[in-house]
Amino acid sequence: MVDNFSDEQKKGMEEMQDNLTADRHPLPRYKHIGGRGGRRLDGQPKASGQAEYTMDVILPGMLHLRFLDSPYPHAAVRSMDTSKAERLDGVRYVLRYDNPEMPEKASTGKFHGLYGDQPPLPGIAHFEGEPVGVAIAAETEAIAEEALTLVEVEWEERSFNLDPVKAREKDAPLSYPEMYPAGNFWNNGLFNELVLGDAKKGFHESERVMEFAFSRRGHTWIGPERPCGVFRWNGESPEVWVKQQRPHLVKKNLATWYGGIPMNSIQLHCLYQGASFGGWVQVPWNMGPLYCAGFVAKKTGRPVKYALTRREDFYGQSMDDGRYSLKVGFNRDGRINAVKGSSTMTNQLWPMFNIMGHFKENTSIPHLHGVTESVWVNKGPAVPTRCEMLPTSLCITMVFNRVAAECGLDPIEVALRNDGIEGHGTDHLAEERRNRGFSDVDSMKECVERGKKAFGWDAKWHAPGTRKLPNGRMHGVGFTWTHEWDDSLGTSEMAIRIERNDGTATILAMGCDNGVDAENTYCRIAADELGFRLEDVRYNPQIDPGFFRMSPDSSTNASVNGWAVRHAARIVKAQILQAAVSPTARTQRGSYRPAFPDCTPDDLDIEDSVIYRKSDPSQRMSLGDFVREAGQSGPISSSESAGYRWAFSEPLFAFGYQVQLGSYNPENPRPHFTRQAHFLEVEVDTETGGIFLTSVVNVNDVGKAMNPMSCEGQQYGGSIMGLSRGLFEEMIYDQATGVMLNGNLLDYKIATIKDVSCPIGTILVETGQGYGPYGSVGIGEDIGTVMTGILGPAVYNAIGVWIDDHPITPDKVLKALGKT
Amino acid sequence: MKPFAHFNATSMDEAVEILGRYGGRAAVIAGGTDLLGRMKDLVLPSYPEALVNIKTIPGLDAVGEDRGYLKIGALTRLSALASHPAVRAEYSALAEAADRTASPHLRNLGTIGGNLCQDIRCWYYRGPNNRFSCLRKGGGRCYALKGDNRFHSIFGASVEQGCVAVHPSDTAPVLIALDAEVETSKRTMKVMDLFTVRPLRTTVLDPDEILTGVRIPVPSPGTKGAFLKFAQRKSIDFPIVNCAAMLTFDEGVVKEARICLNAVYVTPRRAYAAERALAGRFLDEETAAEAAREAIADARPLQHNAYMVQVARTLVKRALLACGGQGE
Amino acid sequence: MAKSGDISMFTCPYCSTQRENFEALREHILADHKGSLLPEPANRIRLLINGLEHAMNVEPEWTLYHLIHDRLGMTGSKQFCDRGACGSCTVIMDGLPVLSCMVLAIECDGRTIETVEGVARAGHPLIESYVKHHAMQCGYCTPGFVVTSKALLDRNPDPTEGEIREALSGNLCRCGTYPQHIVAVREAARTLLKEKEDSGGER
């Protein structure tokens, strides 16, 4: 087939995989890409309650599995009496940590060598609330829960750490002695250093040097659907339902369990997912319970559903929990020469991103030195929570706004003065853009100018602590910015098939919805590439991750998958046009006349799902007429004898795939060109410490907004989640006992519709400088991550005092004002 | 939830009889929004053997005037109370308090009786699986005293118990400021006298005693009221501090003042010193501020909750000014 | 030892008084208890869900959510917090939005319940406006918002932005879709008002 491509087409396909330069084969015009309207594929099911989630799965004879939670932050089960639980009516299986058939360790979510294989049901707990010791399967969840209260455990309590700074000290007790016997710090590469230039020299050359420190309390993701799974054995083959952002990794792990299972006999269903924001990616304390469910399912011969409790889900934390110290060298004009930063974080299960990362990728600051270190404490694991770049985003917001405050400058001026890349200024950035064929638009200026205007920045910004409103509150505004990102390092496989009978197109790819309406974007790409009407393209999620796509972890959707679907669409289009000039239905007795005789594929095109001859558009045939019916007796027997020609094109099917060198490839293959800018207006009640949000503007250069409503959804959602984190969110532990105090949705506070009730302005800038198809770039991870820190400068601008402890709650406002 | 027996009582007598039969091992269920949460989390050392549903007793959800009182049946839902025309017109502070309680959905379930009889929200007390066997559960100590007490009492612990968990009701302070009484299956008492601080109890009600209603005397002419609530979120949350004030004016002079704070102490707390400071004076910014200072003069905050003193002072001042038609 | 005398007596299942024959017992029950001849078990409830009569035996510890979602398989109502703090399990009970995780099924005898399935089946314009305005992301909390909004529009056909916010202030959305809900509810309200106008006030 590929031989039928024109040179131009071949070139286009080769370059599809090259996202390091500008998209050299965009479409001449967009009909559906960038359009509004067009129904969300998940819309009706979700709004009407028909959408099925793993929590909704109810199978005949299904048992419910529940786990014992450790009451202590660090403790081992010394002995356990489960006899009373076993005798309770309705209890069907009691799985103990010392069951001889359970493996000592299983593949439960290894990532980059961190945190290794773990026991699926541990006998030692490393944080309070950790599922440990015993799992009970019963006819109902309530019986399992009651049975757990009948288990008698003799615990061996062990010393524990909560505070990373204390845990780092030499004589601190070991938090995870089994995994990290050498100490709580500096284990397995959890130390990350970034050096650019010479920070010492930079400080020396600076007019001013400033040092400050702040802390951020760990918060959590709160996926609305509890982590859960259902396990059924169909003979030797497992059929599994999981709530998992990365179902393909579940399948990969599962294949190694229970003595090994071939991949092709595992059936894995990934239904709609009640969100997890990255949190639940392959963490042992999620995979372990699934292992247990499979084990119990085998033992009982019945399907087993496990669902962690709401509280059990609370223990995972964001990766920004920790202390930050920063030293900044700058000149009075706002030019920053050097930044040195160090942060001490907790329990990072992910390769950490250096806190100076965005400074390097996003500024002209020539001298950077960043040290990020992780310390093990007896809290839950820290994993990406919307994104692992919370710490660096927080640091860039704090540094720029602090420098602006010290210089008495508008923070936007400081941001513009220091824009650039890898220590070089905007000239270098412009040159890089030109070398790679991108447009010559300065994304930063574009974002800032449009945002300032929409927000009314020039009228609203003022010296800190100087504007009292008629209602008695203090007025403040905050600004932050960074570049756009998504972890576009990834791979994707997607296919397109043209349906028989009506010629509609089906996109076949892994089903793993994360709510961002990416599926609609893929339909738009395929429709424009094929020349189809949007309603003639549909995404058909596969129940099994047979086709891998880079959306399940949500770090990347369209910027990787978009290439794959575009690739597939271009091949299918070539197939269609080739088929249109080739004999329809080749048989043993010969072949039939082509639909477009005397033509080459280049003479034809497709528009609105109709194939037509470019030189004479009256020669046209709809896709439906072209593919015709899938006759039950085929083209040979009845059609021939009946004497008419039964058109029967060859199957029209193709896959596309993409192996992307993302901008977070360690080799850092291309700079970040696109920028984002955010604006927040607040009022602070200095008598109560209450903070009121009055205006938000988000400006994102998304390169190309393929699905603008989806982008805006991320701006709204990111702002609300980010501000909720900034205002309220922290996991609170009792320091004496290590017990989490607010592990529920009343005491852990996420914003309600009344807490972020101000207008949220959404501006999408399209410079075409992204690394996705058509110059697009991701938006989902960024805003919720960046907006977490913006409350700091806004409150500072209102009250004239910095609050160095996030979230910024009323008690801290009053304390900063000296009113406590 | 673990199993329990359930009775739909058809009369008060029947409900009392069942409670008596279970001798303290049964619980009354009205709206259920507090009780079921406690049961789901296995908060207490004991689990009720039976629930006695009193929603099946007719006539307990009426609101109406009755011989110089506004009578509110114990089962009156908070949403019904908040939207009741007579309450909105004559007792707007009470309507406001009911309307600021929890969330709209919970106000459609929760009752005024339940809002008064609800249990404390201290996060040590509420730890699932009875994690902290604290003083209020008959245990040895208060964990909040030296622990994370950012939402605890700023006026010290209860005398007998050393417990610093605050009372979370939004309606109680208004009812106290209105000098209201509660009626039970046994007696009538001032709302202020309903509360106690004992193991597993927040009210003086006997195990077989049921709150049947609240009655509020018609306020003297010239009385104005206000209710203010401070919480982290604008919906769902329990108060960090709330304050109700009822001021009776005579030609601009405060004749009588009743001010009650809640969520700052183990029971709702009358601000007597502030009331005294106001009596006989014109209400203005200065007198309100002075009264507010008096209200918190004896505050003894804990390690993490000094900010609540400032919030309480602000709320008292603003509530007073709101009575005078100023402020918020 | 057989007590033939006892066996011949007919005991009233309601009040345990005895009658000498079945006819007498029958007359007594119909006259004094006004019920069917045999009392239903205490855990028997009858309720109307989405217009359909349901009669079933329930356990005291079952919540209304458990009954609807796990027993009747109407999985549109979702469990998010399970403690009355999020609104995802909202159903409309006798016209009011309530949290089904905080209601005991056994106390729902005689109630009228409407779930998201009922709202959708009735073709309520909220569904379409939610889809159109992307008032959802992961979708898990969405049915709770739809049901709450439906109850709002039932009692307030033309709500202001503030009234919509107030009505939805017990519904948590972690994805942060709040702004779209305001737009979606207002559009559904306009659609309903127009339908009403077009049909001369009948609907």
Quick check: A49 and C77 CB within 8 A? yes
Tokens linked to A679: 């604006």
Q: Considering only alpha carbons, which residue of chain C is nearest residue B237? A: C85
Q: In angstroms, what CA-CA distances link C68 with A476, C56, C89, C118?
A: 48, 12, 10, 12
Phi, psi (5° rounding) for residue C133?
A: -100, 15
- In the block, tokens 């707007």 appear at B92
Q: Which phi and psi angles does A214 have, rounded to 5°? A: -155, 165
Q: Can you give the pLDDT at residue A266? A: 93
* pLDDT surpassing 80 at residue A550: no
Query: Rounded to a whole number, what is the distance in angstroms from the first to the last CA of chain B?
Result: 44
pLDDT at A125 over 90: yes
Distance CA A232, CA B42 (A): 31
d(CA A632, CA A213): 74
Distances (CA, A) of B231 to A333, A606, B148, B168: 42, 61, 17, 11
| Token couple for A786 | 């960046």
B185-236, pLDDT tens digit by residue?
999 999 999 999 999 999 999 999 999 999 999 999 999 999 999 999 999 9
- Of A683, A697, A766, A693, residue with least CA distance to A724: A693
Q: Which of A690, A736, A779, A750 is nearest to A219 (CA)?
A: A750
CB atoms within 10 A of CB A297: 25
Q: Give the residue on A whose Cα is nearest the Cα of C141.
A: A224
- Show the 3-state SS of A403-423: HHHHHCCCHHHHHHHCECECC
Q: Tokens 């959590």, residue?
A: A220
Given the cut 0.95, state whether the ipTM is greater than it: yes
Residue A178 distance to chain C (closest CA, Å): 34
Residue A328: closest CA among A315, A341, A347, A316: A341
List subunits contacting chain C, requiring 3 or more Cβ pairs under 8 Å. Answer: A, B
DSSP state of A462: -
Question: pLDDT at position A593, please?
Answer: 80
The string of pLDDT tens digits covering residues A291-348 is 999 999 999 999 999 999 999 999 989 999 999 999 999 999 999 999 999 999 998 8
Q: Please, which pLDDT band fits residue A112 given cuts at 50, 70 and 90?
A: very low
- How far apart are the C-alpha atoms of C55 and C61, rounded to whole Å? 17
Residue B6 touches partner C, C-beta closer than 8 Å: yes
pTM above 0.90, yes or no: yes
Position A485 scores a pLDDT of 86
**Which two three-digit tokens encode residue C82?**
């399970």
Which residues are A192's β-sheet partners? A372
Q: How far apart are CA A591 and CA A595, in angstroms?
A: 12
pLDDT more than 70, % of chain A: 90
Cβ of residue C65 closer than 8 Å to a chain A Cβ = no
Q: Using CB atoms, which residue from B129, B143, B314 is nearest to A734?
A: B143
Distance from the Cα of C107 to chain A's closest Cα (Å) equals 19
Strand order in the sheet with C112-114: C52-57, C44-49, C112-114, C90-93, C96-99
Q: Which two tokens stand for residue B129?
A: 């699986």
pLDDT at C8: 65
C 25-44 → A contacts, CB under 8 A = none
Contact criterion met (CB < 8 Å) for C130 and A51: no
Say which range, A80-84, A374-378, C22-26, has the weakest mean pLDDT: C22-26
Q: Alpha-carbon distance B80 to B63, whole Å?
A: 9
Reported confidence tier of residue A189, pLDDT bands at 50, 70, 90: low
Cα dist from B192 to B61, B184, B316, whole Å: 22, 14, 19
Beta bridge partners of A733: A740
Q: For residue A10, what are the contacts with CB-CB under 8 A and spacing of at least 6?
A: A2
With beta carbons less than 8 A apart as the criterion, state whether B236 and A752 touch.
yes
Minimal Cβ distance to B236: which of A688, A746, A757: A746
CA angle A600, A604, A606 (to 5 degrees): 150
A613 by Cβ neighbours in 10 Å (0-12 / 13-18 / 19+) ranks as middle
Residues A442-446: what's their mean pLDDT?
97
Instruction: Kindly state the tokens that stand for B44.
Output: 């207490």
Give the C-alpha separation, C83 to B35, whole Å: 11
Residue A425 has a pLDDT of 96
Give kind and range of the element (H or E) at residue B258. strand B253-262
CB contact under 8 A, B232 and A742: no
Facing residue for A47 by CB, picked from C85, C136, C168: C136
Assigned superfamily of C59-198: [2Fe-2S]-binding domain (1.10.150.120)
- How far apart are the C-alpha atoms of A503 and B69, rounded to whole Å? 77
pLDDT of A20-51, one tens digit each?
Answer: 788 878 888 999 999 998 889 999 999 999 99
Query: Considering only CB atoms, which chain C residues are within 8 Å of B37?
Result: 83-84, 102
**Single-letter amino acid code for the residue at A638:** S
**Mean pLDDT, residues C163-167 taken together:** 98
- Average confidence (pLDDT) over B144-151: 97
Query: Choosing among A48, A57, A64, A762, which should be mutated to test the C contact, i.e. which has the most C CBs within 10 A?
Result: A48
Residue A158 has pLDDT above 90, yes or no: yes
B-interface mutation test, from A149, A155, A219, A688, most B Cβ less than 10 A away: A688
Taking only the tens place, the pLDDT of each residue in A613-635 is: 999 999 999 998 888 766 544 44
Percent residues over pLDDT 90 in chain B = 96
Looking at residue A282, its pLDDT comes to 59
Rounded-to-integer distance, Cα A488 and Cα A762, Å: 24
Using a CB-CB cut-off of 8 Å, the residues of chain A touching C152 are none
Order of strands, sheet of A616-622, starting from the edge strand that comes earlier in the sequence: A604-607, A610-613, A616-622
Q: Judge contact between A194 and A361, C-beta under 8 A.
A: no
Q: Are A90 and A143 in contact (CB under 8 A)?
A: yes
Q: Check C102 against B36: CB less than 8 A apart.
A: yes
Cβ contacts of A585 within 8 Å, gap of 6 or more: A591, A592, A635, A645, A646, A647, A648, A649
Residue A106 or residue B196, greater confidence: B196
Q: What is the pLDDT of residues A622-673, one digit of tens each?
A: 998 888 766 544 444 444 444 444 556 778 999 988 888 766 666 667 889 9
Lowest mean pLDDT among A265-274, A450-459, B67-76, B147-156: A265-274
Ranges assigned E (strand) in A708-785? 760-765
Q: Which of C127, C133, C137, C148 to mutate to test the interface with A (most CBs of A within 10 A)?
A: C137
Q: Using CB atoms and an 8 Å cut-off, which of residues 75-104 of chain C contact chain A?
A: 75-86, 88
